[in-house]
Amino acid sequence: MPSKRIISYIVFITNKFSKQYGLPMNKAFIFLASNGVTQFLVENYEVEHQLSPDDVIEDMALIAQKNGGVLA
């Protein structure tokens, strides 16, 4: 189970992701979770949280696309 700190970070960065791609927050969470991005963020929190939000969002999009996710 991820710590509160990791969960808070995932909520924060998912909100930024949802705004950048014009998705409602719940749709962004579903999209990211179903394409392995949430698990990626949990496993790589120590590195990812030190990057700029723009860099992390770029990583998130790449991971989702690698796992079959399609962004408009």
Which pLDDT score is estimated for 1?
Answer: 81
Domain total for the chain?
1
Q: What is the pTM of this model?
A: 0.92
* DSSP summary character for residue 2: -
Q: Note down the domain range covering 47.
A: 4-65
Instruction: Find out whether 42 and 10 touch, Cβ atoms under 8 Å.
Output: yes
* Spatial distance between the Cα atoms of 44 and 41, rounded to a whole number of angstroms: 5
CA dihedral 10, 13, 19, 20 (to 10 degrees): -130
User: In this predicted model, what pLDDT tens digit does every residue of 42-71 receive, in sequence order?
Assistant: 999 999 999 999 999 999 999 999 999 998
